[in-house]
């Protein structure tokens, strides 16, 4: 990819939370229309429609099956559609979908791709959800039979990180507080009504020591969409294109014991070359960023990824977040939609929601959460049991 | 540590309408290539798959060596010793079959063989 070859020109999103009456089909059709309208194009210009795989199927009317077999272009009236497919890499789906979109645009078959995500968890029983998420994050043969959980894995990473860096549990909790403050400014966030304090986070019910309920993400129904095009077309149809300036990826493992980073206490050292490469490809540095959109299924992960950016001394980001500098009004806005912890965990859509928020910020459409004059940002995502990591530098201009 | 009372297995069963089936613990389903591990485990031996060509140890094991893709391998006995580098204590929010075991520890150690 050449820097600034592709651009995102419009987004759509529905409120995130408990909406058992709202089917995934309804979400998908709603966000698709909204993204196309927001982009200022006609639906007939859409030449490819990509769906994120949803997780936990309803056998009565399976969303994945319907989307794989072409329901979406028909339902939204995308009569110029030539290509449709489904892509997923768990929490990293925003990246794999976008890369697929870039490949399609690069092929020249079409110059307009629509990407859609929809998820409904609330119609499944807590037992079904608990079962699914034990399998998603842990190995079904080697870990699940021993009661391993996603939360326990994150708890281990948190313990190792705290021991290695001297970060306190209060500093870890302050990530949840900062995320909540951003979510309070987001009309579609699941938790946007009540502020939380470090004290409240630390004293909430213990889930997996040292993580409390407020340090663990909550599954939610939601969905979002975006329209991607070539930079050439973007300039013609909108005054507000958001360019993909540089990106980089790495894959580590499926089974946590096979992690490429070997030692989770030093995870940031494994991640930092990926961030560096993304910055290099964009021709920008971490200090040029106006916002840092860090994926964070758990608070500690946000700190580890922040450590990897080359912006702050590794191990000091807990204190930075605690100081309020990453919260609204702070010097370094981090994760402006509140992410999995406060916006809501929509399965494969967590990262897509953060990407959509990134676009809104750079288009000046982020409402109360708007970071004034934002020009460049770095966006991050990852999936599975920390199986991979992706960084993307985006901007509303192409640096000269 | 938070001051919340634990929720008993009886309470959670009633609250979530759980059946005995919901509380059945999941068992490992061995694959063709992992069966020797579980057979040894039945005899209380911890074994690891070692490649006969390049010496790489794979755990979990796969169909062939993940370092050199060779099939030939042997099963070696692990020392059973390890170095702990992280642990977690589950108190809440685990899959229901494990609820009665709360609180329980999950730990992560590295073996002298280089496997985690």
A329/A57: higher pLDDT: A329
Integer Cα distance of A21 and A33 in angstroms: 20
Predicted local confidence at residue A392, as pLDDT: 98
Q: Which of A1-5, B16-20, B68-72 has the highest mean pLDDT?
A: B68-72
Residue A346 lies in a domain: no
| Contact between chains at A206 and B91 (C-beta distance less than 8 A) | yes
Q: Are residues A263 and B85 in contact, defined by beta-carbon separation less than 8 angstroms?
A: yes
| Contact between chains at B2 and A151 (C-beta distance less than 8 A) | no
Of the partner residues A144, A149, A264, the one whose CB lies closest to the CB of residue B90: A149
| Contact between chains at A126 and B16 (C-beta distance less than 8 A) | yes
A260/A95: higher pLDDT: A95
Looking at the complex, does the CB of residue A128 fall below 8 Å from at least one CB of chain B?
no
Does residue A168 have a pLDDT over 60? yes
Residues of B with CB below 8 A from A125's CB?
16-17
The residue of chain B nearest to residue A132, with distances taken between CA atoms, is: B95
Name residues whose C-beta falls within 8 Å of residue B114's C-beta, 6 or more positions apart in sequence.
B57
Integer Cα distance of B6 and A177 in angstroms: 25
> Average of pLDDT values for A327-343?
97
Does residue A262 have a pLDDT over 60? no
| Contact between chains at B28 and A141 (C-beta distance less than 8 A) | yes
> Average of pLDDT values for A86-96?
95
Residues in B lying within 8 Å of A, measured between beta carbons: 1-4, 16-18, 22, 25-31, 34, 59-60, 85-98, 101, 103-104, 106-108, 115-116
Residue A116 lies in a domain: yes
Average of per-residue pLDDT values in chain A: 94
Tokens describing residue A131: 């079962």
Predicted local confidence at residue B116, as pLDDT: 43
Name residues whose C-beta falls within 8 Å of residue A23's C-beta, 6 or more positions apart in sequence.
A120
Residue A108 lies in a domain: yes
Confidence of residue A131 (pLDDT cuts 50, 70, 90): confident
Predicted local confidence at residue B103, as pLDDT: 96
A46: DSSP letter: -
Looking at the complex, does the CB of residue A75 fall below 8 Å from at least one CB of chain B?
no
Tokens describing residue B83: 């170095």
Does residue B56 have a pLDDT over 80? yes
Q: Are residues A378 and A279 in contact, defined by beta-carbon separation less than 8 angstroms?
A: yes
Confidence of residue A256 (pLDDT cuts 50, 70, 90): confident
For A184-209, the pLDDT digits (tens) are 999 999 999 999 999 999 999 999 99
Name residues whose C-beta falls within 8 Å of residue A375's C-beta, 6 or more positions apart in sequence.
A290, A362, A395, A396, A397
Of the partner residues B59, B87, B91, the one whose CB lies closest to the CB of residue A207: B91
For A276-314, the pLDDT digits (tens) are 999 999 999 999 999 999 998 999 999 999 999 999 999
For B4-36, the pLDDT digits (tens) are 999 999 999 998 889 999 899 999 999 999 999
Of the partner residues B87, B93, B104, the one whose CB lies closest to the CB of residue A151: B93
Q: Are residues A246 and A392 in contact, defined by beta-carbon separation less than 8 angstroms?
A: yes
| Contact between chains at B115 and A134 (C-beta distance less than 8 A) | no
Does residue A106 have a pLDDT over 80? yes
Residues of A with CB below 8 A from B89's CB?
155, 208-209
Residue A137 lies in a domain: no
Residues of A with CB below 8 A from B29's CB?
140-141
Of the partner residues A153, A206, A258, the one whose CB lies closest to the CB of residue B2: A206
Looking at the complex, does the CB of residue A377 fall below 8 Å from at least one CB of chain B?
no
| Contact between chains at A257 and B93 (C-beta distance less than 8 A) | no
| Contact between chains at B95 and A141 (C-beta distance less than 8 A) | no
| Contact between chains at A144 and B26 (C-beta distance less than 8 A) | yes
Listed in order, strand segments (DSSP E) in A88-220 are 112-119, 206-209, 211-212
> Average of pLDDT values for B90-94?
93
Q: Which domain holds residue A228?
A: 6-124+219-237
Residue A175 lies in a domain: no
DSSP secondary structure string for all residues of B51-73: ETTT--EESS--SS-TTT----E
For A371-391, the pLDDT digits (tens) are 999 999 999 999 988 889 999
Residues of B with CB below 8 A from A130's CB?
93-96
For the whole model, what pTM was predicted? 0.95
CA angle A359/A364/A367 to nearest 5° reads: 100
Name residues whose C-beta falls within 8 Å of residue B60's C-beta, 6 or more positions apart in sequence.
A139, A141, A142, A255, A257, A258, B34
Instruction: Tell me the shortest Cα–Cα distance from B25 to chain A, in angstroms.
Output: 7
Predicted local confidence at residue A263, as pLDDT: 65
Of the partner residues A145, A147, A205, the one whose CB lies closest to the CB of residue B90: A147
A243/A262: higher pLDDT: A243
Integer Cα distance of A354 and B51 in angstroms: 43
Q: Are residues A378 and A278 in contact, defined by beta-carbon separation less than 8 angstroms?
A: yes
Of the partner residues B1, B96, B101, the one whose CB lies closest to the CB of residue A206: B1
Residue A76 lies in a domain: yes
Tokens 């928020």 — which residue? Answer: A357
Residues of A with CB below 8 A from B17's CB?
125
Looking at the complex, does the CB of residue A216 fall below 8 Å from at least one CB of chain B?
yes
Share of chain A above pLDDT 90, in %: 86
Predicted local confidence at residue A16, as pLDDT: 98
Residues of B with CB below 8 A from A263's CB?
85
Predicted local confidence at residue B81, as pLDDT: 87
Name residues whose C-beta falls within 8 Å of residue A164's C-beta, 6 or more positions apart in sequence.
A265, A266, A315
Residue A113 lies in a domain: yes
For A5-15, the pLDDT digits (tens) are 999 999 999 99
Instruction: Tell me the shortest Cα–Cα distance from A164 to chain B, in angstroms.
Output: 10
**Strand order from edge to edge, sheet including B47-51:** B57-58, B47-51, B73-77
Confidence of residue B86 (pLDDT cuts 50, 70, 90): confident
CATH number at residue A10: 3.40.47.10
Q: How many domains does chain A contain in total?
A: 1
Tokens describing residue B92: 């809440």
* ipTM at complex level: 0.92
Confidence of residue A165 (pLDDT cuts 50, 70, 90): very high
Residues of B with CB below 8 A from A127's CB?
16, 18, 22, 95-96
Predicted local confidence at residue A260, as pLDDT: 62
Integer Cα distance of A124 and A267 in angstroms: 34
How far separated are the first and last CA of chain A, in Å rounded? 17
Residue A73 lies in a domain: yes
Does residue A329 have a pLDDT over 90? yes
> Average of pLDDT values for A45-67?
91
Does residue A247 have a pLDDT over 90? yes
Strand, coil or helix: A336? coil
The secondary element (H helix, E strand) that includes residue B14 is helix B9-16
């Amino acid at each position: 990819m050449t820097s600034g070859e592709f651009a995102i020109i419009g987004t759509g999103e529905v409120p995130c939370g408990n909406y058992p009456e709202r089917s995934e089909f309804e979400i998908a059709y709603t966000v698709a229309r909204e993204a196309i309208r927001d982009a200022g194009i006609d639906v007939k210009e859409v030449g490819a429609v990509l769906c994120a795989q949803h997780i936990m199927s309803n056998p009565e009317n399976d969303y994945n099956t319907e989307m794989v077999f072409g329901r979406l272009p028909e339902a939204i009236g995308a009569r110029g559609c030539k290509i449709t497919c489904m892509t997923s890499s768990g929490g990293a789906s925003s990246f794999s979908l976008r890369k697929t979109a870039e490949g399609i645009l690069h092929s020249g078959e079409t110059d307009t791709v629509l990407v859609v995500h929809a998820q409904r968890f609330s119609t499944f029983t807590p037992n079904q959800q608990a079962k699914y998420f034990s399998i998603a994050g842990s190995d079904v043969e080697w870990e699940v039979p021993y009661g391993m959980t996603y939360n326990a894995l994150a708890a281990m990473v948190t313990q190792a990180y705290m021991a290695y860096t001297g970060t306190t549990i209060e500093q870890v909790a302050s990530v949840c507080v900062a995320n909540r403050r951003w979510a309070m400014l987001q009309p579609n966030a699941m938790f946007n009504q009540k502020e939380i304090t470090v004290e409240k986070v630390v004293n909430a019910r213990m889930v997996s020591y040292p993580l409390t309920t407020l340090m663990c993400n909550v599954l939610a129904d939601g969905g979002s969409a975006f329209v991607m095009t070539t930079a050439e077309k973007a300039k013609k149809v909108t005054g507000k294109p958001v360019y993909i300036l540089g990106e980089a990826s790495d894959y580590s493992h499926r089974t946590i014991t096979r992690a490429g980073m070997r030692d989770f206490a030093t995870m940031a050292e494994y991640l930092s070359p990926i961030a560096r490469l993304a910055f290099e490809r964009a021709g920008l540095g971490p200090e040029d960023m106006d916002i840092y959109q860090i994926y964070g299924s758990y608070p500690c992960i946000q700190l580890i990824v922040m450590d990897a950016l080359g912006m702050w001394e590794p191990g000091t980001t807990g204190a930075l977040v605690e100081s309020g500098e990453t919260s609204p009004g702070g010097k370094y806005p981090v994760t402006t939609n509140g992410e999995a912890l406060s916006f809501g965990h929509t399965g494969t859509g967590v990262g897509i929601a953060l990407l959509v928020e990134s676009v809104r910020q750079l288009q000046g459409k982020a409402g109360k959460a708007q970071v004034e004059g934002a020009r460049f940002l770095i966006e991050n995502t990852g999936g599975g049991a920390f199986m991979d990591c992706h960084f993307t530098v985006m901007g509303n201009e192409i640096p000269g | 540590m938070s001051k919340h009372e634990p929720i008993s297995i009886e309470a959670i069963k009633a609250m979530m309408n759980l059946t005995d089936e919901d509380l059945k613990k999941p068992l490992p389903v061995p694959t063709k290539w992992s069966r020797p591990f579980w057979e040894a485990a039945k005899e209380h031996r911890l074994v690891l798959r070692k490649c006969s060509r390049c010496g790489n140890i794979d755990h979990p094991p796969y169909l062939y060596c993940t370092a050199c893709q060779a099939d030939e391998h042997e099963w070696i006995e692990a020392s059973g010793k390890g170095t702990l580098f992280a642990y977690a204590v589950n108190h809440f929010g685990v899959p229901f079959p494990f609820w009665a075991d709360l609180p329980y520890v999950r730990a992560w150690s590295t073996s002298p063989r280089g496997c985690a």
